[in-house]
Amino acid sequence: MQELTKLRDQVAVWEELSTHLNYVIELAELGDEELNSEIAQEMEKLSARVAQLEFQALFSEKYDDEDAILAIHAGAGGTEAQDWAEMLQRMFVRWAGAHDFKVEMIDYSAGDEAGLKSCMMSITGDFVYGRLKSERGVHRLVRISPYDSSSRRHTSFAKVEVWPDVAEDIEIEVDEGDLRIDRFKASGAGGQHVQKNETAVRITHIPSGIVVSCQNQRSLTQNKQVAMNILKAQLFDLERRKQDAAMAVLKGEDVDAGWGSQIRSYVLHPYKMVKDHRTNYETGNTQAVLDGRLDEFMEAYLRYNLGEVV
pLDDT at residue 188, as a whole number: 55
Bridge partners of 186, per DSSP, are none
Contacts of 44 (CB under 8 A, 6+ apart): none
Statement: residue 210 has pLDDT above 80: yes
Statement: residue 250 has pLDDT above 70: no
pLDDT at residue 253, as a whole number: 46
Bridge partners of 81, per DSSP, are none
Q: Give, in order, the Cα–Cα distances in Å from 170 to each of 48, 173, 192, 229, 283.
A: 36, 10, 36, 10, 39
Q: What is the pLDDT of residues 48-96, one digit of tens each?
A: 888 888 888 899 888 898 899 999 999 988 899 999 999 999 999 999 9
Residue 248 near residue 241, CB atoms below 8 Å: no
Q: Which of 272, 291, 262 is nearest to 282 (CA)?
A: 272
pLDDT at residue 306, as a whole number: 85
Between strands 137-144 and 262-267, the pairing is: parallel
Q: Quickly state the pLDDT bin for 283 (edges 50, 70, 90).
A: very high
Phi first, then psi: what are they for 253, rounded to 5°? -95, 160
Statement: residue 196 has pLDDT above 70: no
User: How does DSSP classify residue 30?
Assistant: H
Statement: residue 236 has pLDDT above 80: yes
Query: What mean pLDDT is reported for the chain?
Result: 87
Q: Quickly state the pLDDT bin for 279 (edges 50, 70, 90).
A: very high
Q: In angstroms, rounded to a whole number, what is the distance separating the alpha carbons of residues 80 and 116?
A: 10
Statement: residue 100 has pLDDT above 90: yes
Bridge partners of 210, per DSSP, are 205
pTM, entire model: 0.75
Higher-confidence residue of 206 and 310: namely: 206
Q: Quickly state the pLDDT bin for 190 (edges 50, 70, 90).
A: very low
Higher-confidence residue of 149 and 308: namely: 149
Higher-confidence residue of 191 and 172: namely: 172
pLDDT at residue 57, as a whole number: 85
Residue 238 near residue 210, CB atoms below 8 Å: yes
What number is the average pLDDT over the span 116-139? 94
Q: Quickly state the pLDDT bin for 243 (edges 50, 70, 90).
A: confident
pLDDT at residue 288, as a whole number: 98
pLDDT at residue 289, as a whole number: 98
Q: Quickly state the pLDDT bin for 255 (edges 50, 70, 90).
A: very low
Q: Which of 88, 92, 87 is nearest to 146 (CA)?
A: 87
Helix (DSSP H) and strand (DSSP E) numbers for the chain:
8, 11
